[in-house]
Structures are given as C-alpha cells and as structure tokens.
C-alpha cells in the first residue's frame, strides 16, 4: 500500500538529508523531482491536462490561495533547479538553491497539502532569496500597453521596446518573471533564436516598477494577427498542447468523413431547433441532404443508414436540450444568438461561437460537439474542447468587459447529461495564450524561410519522433514526413519557397502593410480611423436597419436604408464579402460588439440588401442600434487550401510531380478522332485540333477578343460530348468567367442542356444561369441512389476553382477525362496543384500579358533566388502556373504543348494597332470570319456629327483613340481628380447628343464603360454624372481589375494622375516588359477609346508617352465642374 503524499515527501526529505556527502547537484535533482511529483499528484484526480509545470503550479497555488510572495519563491526554485539539471550556468550558490528547494517543499506541504513539516526538516527562509531577485515595488499599473519590441534588453531577462503612448522612450520589459510571466519565455526565446525582431506585442496587466521597467503578466505577439480560436484549441491534446497539430491541419487535405458530416448535421439541427422548435427529424434530414448532396453521394448505403440513425439520436438529444435544459438555465430561446463572431485585439484571437446569450453583465456560451469526450478531464470534457471554451471566455469578456460568464460544452451524442459545465482556470487560459504565441512565431518563421539554407522551420520541424504523437495526428504526421522525404532537393526548395510565399500573403491579408492603401489588411477594421475609411471610400456607414427576409432554406437577408450620413460615394459592389457591425460610442465599434459575416446581394440608391452567413432567430438586435456599418472581410480558408495543394502534389507519383514542375514535357499528342465542328477559321480549327490531340496538358495563349471562351471552349466541349461517357470539368477564376462558360455551353445542342450543372451560390451566379446550379437541378431528387444515377448522367461540371476546392469529393464520384481552365493566367500554382493530379488532361487558357493573379506582397519578396528553379521558369511566385509552364514550353521547344490565338474580333483595327505593337509583338490579326464583322473591324465610326458640332463631338466622330489632357487636382487627395471626372462627364454628355442625333439606342451596359484605377475616383465620377442628371444611363464605372474579361463599345479611361509616384501603382509590368493594366484597359474597347490624364506625369513612362503620341489630342477647357462644357481643338 502506497504512502500518502505528505508522508512520502517527509520520507524523501529524510533520505536526502541523511546523506550529506551526496553531491549538491544530485540533492537538487531529487528535491526537484519530489517537488514536481507533489504538484502532479495534487492535480491527478482532476484530470486537467497541463503541458507545462508552470501551468500546473499556477493552477494549484492560485486554487489554494498560497501567499504571492511564497508563490514567487516556488517558481524561482523551479527555474533554478531546471537550470542546474540541464547543466546551465546559475547566478546563485548551489547549496543556497538546495536550501531554497527544502524551504519550497515546506511551503507545498503547508500551503497546498495543509500539513505542518516536522521540526527536524524545517528550514528558515533566507531573506536574500527575495532581495536578490525580488519583488519590485509597483508604482503604476496598465491593462494593455501596445509595444514594438526590438530585441533583448541590457539587463538579464529583459527586452527592449517602444510603447505606443511614449514612442520616443526606450523601455525595458522584464520577462521570465517567476510566477508572473515565465510561461511566455519559450516563444520569446524562439523569436531571438530565429532573429524575427521586431515584433509588435500587447503587454497585458502591466506593473511598472520604480526604475520604469515593465512587468507584464502576458505577452501577446502580433495582436493584429487574429488567430482563430479553433486552430489554437485543436493543439490541446490529453498529453498537452502541441503546435504540430496546427501544422498537420494546414497540410492534411480535408476529407468529407461521416464524423465530419455528423458535426455539420448536428450544428444544422441546433440552429434550426432554436429557430423553429416544431421542426421534425425527417423534415430537417431532407434539408441536410440538399445542403451537402455530394457528401451523401460519396457514402455507401450502410454508412448512410448508420449516419441517419446516428443523426436521429443527435436530433432527440438536441431537441431535449432546446426544450428543457436551456429554459432551465434561464436562457430565452428568442434571445439566443446563433454562431456569432467576435474579434479581440487584446488577445489576438477571433472566434465563432455556436450559441451565445447575454443578459447585461452575464453571458452564457455553449459550444456544440457531435463526438464523445475523449480521455475526459475532471469536468468530463476533451482537452481541446475545454481549451476552446477558455479562449471563448477571454474573447467575450474582452468584447463586453464583463466579469461573469458561464461556459458549456454540449455533447449531442451523450444520452445522459450532454451539457457539461466548463469552469474557468486562469493558468490554462495563460497556457492557451502562450500556445497562440507559439503558432504566431511558427508563422513568422515560415515567412522568413530560407529555402536554400538549413531547413529548420519546416523539414526540421516535422522531423520528430512519431511516438510523441497519437491517433490520427500520428498517422497524418507519418504521411507528411514520408511525403517530404520522397521529394528531391529541387522539389523541397519549390515547396519551401511557396510555404514562405503563402505565409507572407496570409500575414499581410490579416495585418496589412502600413503606408500601402492597396494592402490594408483586415486589421484596418480597427486600426484605421473612421475619417480615414471615409476618405478611402472603404466604409459603408450610417446604415439604418429596415426589415429582414427570413428564408426557410437559407440564412436571412437584411435590408438597410441609407441615411444622410451614408457616404454616397462609398465604393461597394454586389457580391462583396463584408463585416457588418453596429456603430457605437466605443471605438473601434467592431471590437466591442458581435460582428456579422455577410454578403451584399443587392445595392440600390436607397437600400443595401445583405445576406448573413449565420442563422438568426430574432431581429430586434438590429433595430436596437441607430446605425450599422459595413467593411470588407477576409476569407481565411483559402490559405489552407494552398498548403494542402502543395501536399497533394507532393504525394503524387514522381512522374506527375516532374510534369507540373516543368522538369519533363507533356506526352506527345495522339489523334483525338473527332474533327472540330465546322464554322471555325483555319487558325481556330488547327488550335482546337491541337487541344484535342494533346495529352496531359495544353496551353492556349488567348489575347483579348480571340474567342477563347466563345469559340475554343465551345468547340472542345462539343467534340468531347460526341465521345460516349467522356466527362469534362470546366473551371475559371471568377464567377463572371464561369457565366461566360455557361453562355458558351448554352449554344451546344439542345439535348445537352440536361447533361451539365454548376457548383456555386445563386448570389454569385448571373440570373440567366441560376437554373444550372446543383441545388436547383436536384430539387426533386429525394434519395442517394437517385442522386448517383443523375450525377453519372452529367457530362460537364462547371464552377470556379474555389468552389471546386470545397467539393473535393466530386473527384471520387466522377472520373473526368479532361479539365478546361479559363483565366488560368490569374491562378497561382498551389490553387491548381491540388486538382491537376486528379484529372489526366488539362487545357489551360489564359493571357499572361493581361492582369496576373492578385498578390499583396511586393514583387521583390516573392522573387525566387534559386538557379535550379529559375531554369524551370519558377522565377517569381506571383506568376501563374499557366505563365510558368508557357515560358518553359516555349523556351524548351515543346511546340505540341502550346499555341497562340492571333485573330481577334473585338477591337477595330485602329484600336488593335497599339496593343498589338506594344503588348503582343505585332502578332494580332483581324478575325474576318464574315463580311459583317469585317466591316465593323475596318469601317468608319458608326455615328456622324451634327452640323456646327463642337470640337469634342467632332473628335468623337473622326478618331478612334483620343487623349484629353487634364491638370493635376491640387485640392483633393492623390486618388481623386475632379478635372478628369469633369472630362468624363463632358464625353458622356457628348455621346448622349451624338446617339440621339444618330438614332442609336443606349439601353444596356454594353455601350460605354469607364475605367479608373481608384475606388475613390469611381465615386467622384459617379457623383459628377449624377449632378449632371446622367445617373440613369447604364454605365459601368470600375477598376481595370473588374473589367478583365469584359468589353464595351466605348471605353473612357480616367488615369487620375496627380503625382509622379502614382505611376508605380498605375503600371503592372510583366517579365517581358508589358504593362498589363494598360493592356487590359485598352483592349476592352470595340469602337473607341478616350484617355484622360496629366501629360507631364504620363510622359515620364515610355509606353504612356508612346500612347499619347498615338492618340488624337484634344484640349478641353476644364475647371468648372458645376456648369456645361466648352472645348477648343
């Protein structure tokens, strides 16, 4: 029979003290072992899983209310003993440390175990133990100090930094304060080891001593980098917290397993039962089937039957909780918030709770879990679930500044007591925040990877003993280790370069890049002042809640009215993904209230219609605030998709890896069999035949107006449709391009219209093609077998790359013969690498002389400095997979792998001349497929001027390309120019008169469009047109990025040139020296281009100077924006 813990301690003490000849280091080691065992034993019955002795001690000492001074000493002994055992140098006599340990054991016995140490073992405290290290005198206290920490300080265990409120004073910050902030030393040491300074930190609960040294209780690294609470909590396992879990979640492709589906089903049930308690199981299960039909289709019948039976159990448990348990807790169902989202910059976290209720200074948090507790702690909770509630507790208290919060985990699988209380343990919250810091450090290490140097931060990081991992994590780590080990050195450097690139993109998307308004980041929500947002037209504010449409099969749509305070120039568009939050006196409002993730589904002059991403039970909350604001949001999940794309490529056969890295050519062609459809030109027929005959991949360079979608894609699809059982996957980067694909497929034979469908949302799909959507197509299908039969009858599946990434089970259900990707020059490697190995042949269509992929980091940072990779054309990671392979194929002579369309049928030849010469090496030709098209492409301008026309009207009837000089605007900021806006208005007024004179209808957006580089200038132009009574004209005013893929008869370009430095952002140069932005702007026009800008500034750029010389110049008399026009030639 084992001795009680206190007797064991006394016996061990006796044995140590009875051996005075024992080396002092050994006596310290044994004393420390007894010390640590005591704390372990004390918490063993509670089954709380601590990953550090610090956290375990902090929990016990706080719970037992041990004197703060004694706590300090216990932590000092822990620190010294660990140094002695490791063999590190210490600044105390070893005998003194041993004596400190004996005293510490006495404190543990009396303070924790409530046992008095026998007199023969007692030792008097040495006052020097406190005086040497000691406790400082606190002269000031601050809740939060935002600080830029620049490195190690001049004193031991200090850092140097500059606080936001005193940026001119260098401050010392104490870390490794025993019992106060020592837990945070590990991540700080990592920052030093990898030289990642400087780091912005929030110092929390800061005590300031007489010397001005800051003693924070917590360090929060990069607080504007809001880490998702789920990502942090998933690192907590029964054995302790492990950041490797975070890495594995990033790199392990998600699969639609029954367990994952059950989690989604349970969440859906809870939301619906809270909203409509009368819901029946069968009614809800049928709706679940429609939410994820492909997930159900991928199951076999036995699995589906088990899932349905399991779901019924969850439904019954949840219904009981909703009807009985929640009311017993005093939670009114109508006031419950479902899946609310909160931000906390104090702690650098964000989270979406399952269920939340607030009543004044009291809150209730309930997190739903569909599984059972795994190796449950003392409260019956899994470690990761418990950590999640602790972080939610911090999050909510940070937002609402409340003291009382009750947190629960709802295990919907449990028959008995499914709702488990999760009490707050401060020491474990500290540990969770320390883990958050570790994850931030890991992300920063990836941002600073040196692919050519020592691979510590990825390869070295994942090279650890598999026996330190358990369960699925061990299997996933084994797979990742094997994958990485099988890559050769060039492949590893390719992967490491992209890890660095993706981590940098993610960081900038969250935090922004100060001084660059184009890279504002999500942190602009709280870092930028309201005035600054208004100045950038980035705030749709002062909205007044009006009404809600509650939809049975969808989340609600809210309708807001614009008020007098709403900036009419705020530049938002239908389809924008936004954050909606109430305006309040507490600034920034977004950090003091629930925020709503939403999508703008309709914009009018008076109203804004917003679709919420979460369900709502009651809408009184929206009426309780006078005003609401909207700003743009960030979708985090796309970055994990890129990491997983690298994993999928890395796990593929070596031959496929070589193919897509460009280390071998694609296989040589074989005859396809079916000839292209008639009605094509000789060039088009040849190119379509090449695409059909190609194997593995074929690259089509399609300059503007060459019919790459309307002609090439349609012809290839038609040829494959003639082959029995062939299936095609059609992808594009944007929904607009997918709309154009649908338009091309609409022209196929009528019997084909029932053989294809589209993946996506109706809110991002043109109304003409909403009937194509999967949801609509399967409305009448009620079971899995019918769904499978229908699915196998489909020949073509269409969608954006992003929408297909979220439906990976499709590749297990359908065997595709070919995939065709439009806008391929806008898609980076990692987005496609996860799919290219799943389809045997790919046709990539793009134009690398038009706009590239959207990348926020500077070009110099995404540059690859590796000779081997440069030879494979991996030169800059901002280049698309299409561009990289096209360069490799052309320079390697793989002529069968690529082709260029040269004949264009959009631009009149007078417009085509300049882009052809400056952007396409004079390769563009006119597409003369019929007399009518030839006449339009070569004939005169199709409108005549009236008699006695003014100079502007004369110019519009005689010249295809016109330049209107404009002065700089000294009165406004650099991103607006009122003179240019006036010139645009004068042109629009001239066109209205011309069209009326020539009986030309102006009844759709296809007639005229305006392109300008800045959202602010869009707003100014729109205001100028409105003031002239032209607001009803169907004119699209947008940036060049939004115009790519579109065309208008007439394009007006306002370059908004006020300062010479703007040229840098105005120009987007390709590797060949092509200005891609200018190329896109000019090639949108069919009949005419009007260019407006400042001559002195534009002439500083060689291409713009040539363009001005190419255009007819007309000097307008600008400067009176309130009156009509006058002009002089």
Kind and range of the H or E element at 1011? strand 1008-1011
First vs last C-alpha separation in the chain: 108
Would you say residue 1124 has pLDDT above 60? no
42 pLDDT band, cuts 50/70/90, is confident
834 and 862 together in one domain: yes
121 and 146 together in one domain: no
585 pLDDT band, cuts 50/70/90, is confident
Comparing 11-20, 531-540, 997-1006, 1092-1101, the range with the smallest average pLDDT is 11-20
Would you say residue 110 has pLDDT above 90? no
- Spatial neighbors of 1016 by CB under 8 A, at least 6 apart, are 535, 536, 537, 569, 571, 973, 975, 976
Q: Report yes or no on 438 lying in a domain.
A: no
> pLDDT by residue (tens digit) across 938-996?
999 999 999 888 999 999 999 999 999 999 998 766 788 999 999 999 999 999 999 99
Of 700, 344, 652, 611, give the one whose Cα is nearest residue 491.
Answer: 652
875 and 792 together in one domain: yes
Q: Report yes or no on 477 lying in a domain.
A: no
667 and 747 together in one domain: yes
Residue identified by tokens 């859906």 is 268
Q: Report yes or no on 501 lying in a domain.
A: no
Q: Which span out of 5-9, 608-612, 1059-1063 was modeled with the highest average pLDDT?
A: 608-612
DSSP string, 1015-1028: HHHHHHHHHHHHHT
302 and 368 together in one domain: yes
pLDDT over 90 percentage in the chain: 65
* Beta bridge pairs of residue 172: 160
Q: Report yes or no on 449 lying in a domain.
A: no
Q: What is the CATH number of the domain that holds 550?
A: 2.40.30.270
The three-class DSSP label of residue 644 is helix
Of 396, 411, 432, which residue sits at a domain end? 432
395, 356 contact by CB (below 8 A): no
352 and 388 together in one domain: yes
Would you say residue 92 has pLDDT above 70? yes
Q: Report yes or no on 990 lying in a domain.
A: yes
The three-class DSSP label of residue 188 is helix
Comparing 48-62, 134-148, 301-315, 643-657, the range with the smallest average pLDDT is 48-62
> pLDDT by residue (tens digit) across 320-366?
999 999 999 999 998 999 999 999 999 999 999 999 999 888 899 99
Would you say residue 1 has pLDDT above 60? no
> pLDDT by residue (tens digit) across 803-827?
999 888 999 999 999 999 999 999 9
129 and 144 together in one domain: no
> pLDDT by residue (tens digit) across 675-734?
767 788 999 999 999 999 999 999 999 999 998 888 899 999 999 998 888 999 999 999
Would you say residue 580 has pLDDT above 60? yes
Measured CA to CA, the distance from residue 375 to residue 656 in angstroms comes to 42
Of 858, 875, 901, which residue sits at a domain end? 901
> pLDDT by residue (tens digit) across 620-649?
899 999 999 999 998 777 899 999 999 999
Q: State which residues form the domain around 16.
A: 5-133
371 and 299 together in one domain: yes
For residue 858, what pLDDT is reported?
Answer: 86
For residue 955, what pLDDT is reported?
Answer: 96
State the helix-helix crossing angle for 185-193 and 426-447, rounded to 10 degrees. 10
158: number of Cβ within 10 Å: 17
Q: Report yes or no on 894 lying in a domain.
A: yes
Q: Report yes or no on 865 lying in a domain.
A: yes
Query: How far from 1116 is each of 898, 963, 1127, CA to CA, in Å?
Result: 47, 10, 5
1030 and 916 together in one domain: yes
703, 904 contact by CB (below 8 A): yes
Would you say residue 517 has pLDDT above 70? no
Would you say residue 1129 has pLDDT above 70? no
565: number of Cβ within 10 Å: 11
Measured CA to CA, the distance from residue 557 to residue 63 in angstroms comes to 48
Q: Report yes or no on 125 lying in a domain.
A: yes
For residue 551, what pLDDT is reported?
Answer: 66
For residue 1123, what pLDDT is reported?
Answer: 36
740 pLDDT band, cuts 50/70/90, is very high
- Tell me which of 636 and 743 has the higher pLDDT: 743
For residue 519, what pLDDT is reported?
Answer: 56
Q: What is the CATH number of the domain that holds 315?
A: 3.90.320.10
1032: number of Cβ within 10 Å: 8
877 and 922 together in one domain: no
> pLDDT by residue (tens digit) across 466-481?
988 888 899 999 999 9
Give the pLDDT mean for 502-514. Answer: 89
Q: What's 665's DSSP letter? A: P
568 and 657 together in one domain: no
955 and 1060 together in one domain: yes
758, 771 contact by CB (below 8 A): no
Could you give phi then psi for residue 563, rounded to 5 degrees?
-110, 180
Would you say residue 134 has pLDDT above 60? no
The tally of domains found in the chain comes to: 6
Would you say residue 385 has pLDDT above 50? yes
Would you say residue 1122 has pLDDT above 50? no
Residue identified by tokens 């003291």 is 403
Region of 707 please: left (phi>0), alpha (psi -120 to 50) or beta: left
């Amino acid at each position: 029979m084992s001795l009680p813990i206190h007797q064991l301690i006394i016996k061990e003490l006796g044995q140590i003290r009875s051996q005075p000849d024992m080396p002092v280091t050994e006596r310290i080691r044994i004393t420390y072992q007894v010390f640590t065992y005591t704390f372990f034993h004390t918490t063993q019955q509670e089954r709380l899983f601590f990953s550090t002795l610090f956290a375990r001690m902090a929990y016990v000492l706080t719970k037992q209310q041990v004197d703060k001074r004694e706590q300090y000493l216990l932590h000092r002994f822990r620190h010294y003993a660990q140094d002695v055992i490791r063999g590190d140098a210490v600044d105390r006599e070893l005998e003194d440390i041993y004596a400190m340990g004996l005293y510490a054991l006495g404190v543990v016995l009396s303070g924790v175990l409530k046992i008095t140490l026998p007199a023969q073992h007692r030792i008097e405290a040495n006052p020097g133990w406190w005086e040497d290290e000691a406790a400082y005198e606190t002269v000031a206290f601050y809740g939060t100090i935002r600080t830029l920490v620049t490195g190690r300080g001049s004193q031991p265990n200090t850092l140097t930094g500059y606080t936001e409120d005193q940026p001119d004073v260098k401050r010392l910050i104490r870390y490794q304060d025993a019992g106060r902030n020592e837990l945070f030393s590990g991540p700080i040491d990592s920052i030093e080891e990898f030289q990642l300074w400087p780091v912005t930190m929030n110092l929390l609960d800061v005590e300031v001593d007489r010397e001005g040294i800051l003693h924070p209780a917590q360090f929060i690294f990069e607080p504007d980098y809001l880490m998702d609470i789920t990502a942090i909590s998933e690192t907590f396992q029964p054995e302790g917290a492990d950041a490797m879990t975070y890495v594995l979640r990033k790199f392990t492709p998600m699969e639609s397993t029954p367990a994952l589906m059950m989690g989604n089903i349970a969440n859906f049930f809870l939301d619906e039962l809270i909203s409509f308690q009368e819901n029946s199981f069968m009614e809800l299960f049928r709706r679940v089937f429609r939410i994820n039909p492909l997930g159900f289709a991928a199951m076999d019948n036995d699995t589906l039957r088990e899932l349905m039976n399991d779901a019924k159990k969850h439904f019954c448990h949840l219904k009981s909780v909703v009807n009985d348990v929640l009311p017993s807790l005093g939670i009114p169902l109508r006031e419950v918030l479902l899946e609310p989202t909160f931000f906390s910059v104090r702690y650098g976290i964000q989270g979406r709770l399952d269920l939340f209720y607030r009543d004044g200074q009291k809150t209730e948090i309930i997190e739903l879990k569909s599984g059972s507790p795994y190796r449950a702690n003392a409260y019956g909770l899994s470690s990761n679930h418990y950590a999640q509630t602790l972080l939610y507790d911090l999050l909510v208290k940070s937002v609402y500044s409340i003291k009382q919060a009750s947190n629960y985990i709802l295990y919907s699988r449990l028959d008995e007591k499914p709702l488990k209380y999760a009490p707050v343990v401060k020491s474990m919250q500290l540990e969770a925040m320390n883990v958050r810091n570790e994850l931030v450090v890991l992300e920063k290490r990836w941002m600073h990877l040196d692919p050519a140097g020592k691979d510590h931060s990825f390869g070295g990081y994942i090279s650890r003993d598999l026996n330190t991992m358990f369960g699925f994590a061990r299997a996933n780590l084994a797979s990742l280790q094997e994958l990485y080990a099988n890559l050769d050195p060039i492949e590893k450097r390719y992967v490491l370069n992209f890890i660095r690139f993706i981590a940098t993109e993610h960081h900038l998307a969250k935090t922004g890049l100060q001084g660059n308004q184009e890279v504002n980041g999500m942190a602009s929500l709280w870092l930028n002042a309201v005035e600054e947002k208004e100045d950038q037209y980035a705030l749709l504010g002062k909205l007044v809640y009006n009404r809600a449409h509650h939809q049975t099969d969808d989340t609600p749509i809210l309708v807001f009215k614009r008020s007098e305070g709403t900036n009419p120039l705020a530049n938002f568009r239908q389809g924008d993904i936004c954050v909606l939050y109430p305006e309040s006196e507490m600034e920034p409002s977004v950090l003091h209230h629930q925020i709503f993730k939403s999508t703008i589904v309709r914009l009018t002059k008076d109203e804004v219609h917003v679709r919420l991403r979460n369900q709502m039970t009651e809408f009184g909350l929206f009426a309780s605030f006078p005003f609401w604001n909207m700003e743009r949001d960030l979708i985090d999940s796309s970055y994990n998709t890129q990491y997983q794309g690298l994993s999928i490529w890395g796990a593929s056969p070596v031959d496929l890896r070589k193919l897509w890295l460009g280390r071998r050519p694609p296989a040589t062609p074989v005859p396809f069999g079916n000839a292209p459809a008639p009605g094509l030109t000789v060039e088009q027929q040849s190119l379509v035949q090449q695409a059909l005959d190609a194997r593995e991949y074929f690259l089509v360079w399609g300059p503007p107006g060459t019919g790459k979608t309307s002609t090439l894609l349609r012809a290839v699809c038609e040829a494959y449709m003639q082959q029995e059982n062939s299936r095609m996957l059609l992808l594009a980067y944007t929904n607009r391009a997918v709309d154009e694909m649908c338009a091309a497929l609409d022209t196929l034979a009528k019997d084909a219209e029932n053989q294809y469908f589209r993946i996506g949302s109706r809110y991002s799909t043109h109304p003409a093609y909403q009937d194509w959507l999967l949801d609509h197509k399967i409305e009448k299908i009620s079971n899995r077998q019918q769904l499978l039969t229908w699915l196998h009858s489909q020949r073509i599946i269409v969608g954006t790359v992003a929408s297909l990434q979220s439906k990976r089970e499709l590749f297990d259900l359908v065997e595709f013969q070919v995939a065709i990707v439009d806008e391929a020059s806008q898609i980076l490697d990692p987005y496609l690498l996860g799919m290219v190995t799943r389809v045997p042949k790919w046709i990539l269509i793009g134009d690398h002389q038009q706009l590239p992929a959207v990348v926020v980091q500077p070009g110099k940072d995404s540059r690859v400095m590796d000779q081997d990779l440069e030879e494979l054309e991996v030169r800059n990671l901002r280049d698309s997979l299409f561009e990289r392979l096209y360069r490799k194929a052309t320079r390697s002579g793989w002529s069968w792998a690529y082709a260029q369309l040269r004949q264009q049928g959009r631009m009149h030849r007078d417009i085509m001349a300049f882009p052809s010469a400056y952007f396409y090496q004079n390769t563009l030709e006119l597409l003369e497929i019929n007399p009518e098209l030839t006449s339009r492409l070569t004939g005169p301008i199709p409108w005549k001027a009236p008699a006695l026309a003014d100079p502007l009207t004369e110019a519009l009837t005689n010249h295809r390309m016109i330049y209107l000089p404009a002065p700089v605007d000294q009165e406004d900021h650099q991103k607006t120019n009122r003179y240019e806006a006036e010139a645009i208005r004068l042109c629009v007024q001239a066109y209205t008169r011309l069209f009326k004179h020539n009986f030309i209808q102006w009844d759709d957006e296809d007639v005229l469009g305006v392109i300008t580089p800045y959202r602010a200038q869009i707003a100014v132009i729109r205001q100028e047109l409105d003031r002239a009574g032209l607001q009803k004209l169907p004119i699209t005013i947008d940036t060049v990025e939004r115009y790519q893929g579109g065309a208008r008869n007439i394009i007006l370009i306002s370059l908004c040139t006020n300062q010479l430095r703007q040229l840098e952002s105005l120009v987007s140069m390709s590797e060949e020296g092509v200005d891609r932005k200018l190329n896109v702007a000019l090639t949108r026009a069919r009949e005419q281009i009007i260019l407006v800008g400042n001559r002195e500034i534009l002439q500083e750029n060689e291409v713009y100077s040539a363009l001005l010389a190419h255009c007819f110049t007309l000097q307008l008399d600008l400067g009176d924006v309130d009156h009509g026009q006058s002009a002089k030639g």
